[in-house]
Amino acid sequence: MYFEEFFVGQRFELNPVTLTNDDIYDFASRFDPQPIHIDQEYSEQSAFGGIIASGFHTVSIIWGEWIRANRFGKEIIVGTGMDYIRWTAPVRALDTLYTNVEIIETTPSPKGKRGMVVLKFTSTNQDDQDVLHMQGSAYLKMQ
């Protein structure tokens, strides 16, 4: 989608994603090998009472679903950052994540031919409990 096709208040729903034990372990062992994510015995003694997914895994899953939804298409120029990330509840194996994306800002570039879109992601689990809030931005081509 081109910059002009996005508007403040526009919403998108992403496909739900269910995590498995293997998903959590595989990601954490490579990218966030903390005991809370990979050591069953340790994690059972923690405040969480078991293995939880890495927050960065959750972010990666949601971003991946956004990209697979192909809303930016070939009109994306570059992502400019993630300005806000909050993990509000643990994500566990067999949790299903549901994500809504809202356009919260659109700003044409003074240089022309592109504009910045700011997106707010809100993810909940199967119990409708918030698990992730984040904002990201990207430059998109104009028509």
CA gap 137, 135 in Å, rounded: 7
Task: Identify the three-state secondary structure at position 128.
Answer: coil
Strand partners, 88: none
pLDDT at site 45 = 98
Query: What is the extent of the structural domain holding 125?
Result: 3-141
Task: Identify the three-state secondary structure at position 28.
Answer: helix
Number of domains in the chain: 1
Strand partners, 98: 124
pLDDT at site 100 = 99
CA gap 60, 132 in Å, rounded: 11
pLDDT at site 109 = 94
Question: What are 116-141's pLDDT values in tens digits?
Answer: 999 999 999 999 999 999 999 999 99
* For residues 94-110, average pLDDT: 98
Question: What are 53-99's pLDDT values in tens digits?
Answer: 999 999 999 999 999 999 999 999 999 999 899 999 999 999 999 99
| Dihedral angle sign, alpha carbons of residues 90, 95, 100, 105 | positive
Q: State both tokens at 130.
A: 């918030």
Specify the CATH number for the domain of residue 12: 3.10.129.10
pLDDT at site 50 = 98
Chain mean position to CA 119: 10
Please check whether residue 52 is in contact with residue 34, taking contact to mean a CB–CB distance below 8 angstroms.
Answer: no
pLDDT at site 9 = 99
Query: In degrees to the nearest 10, what's the CA dihedral of 75, 81, 84, 85?
Result: 90
pTM: 0.93
Question: What are 5-64's pLDDT values in tens digits?
Answer: 999 999 999 999 999 999 999 999 999 999 999 999 999 999 999 999 999 999 999 999
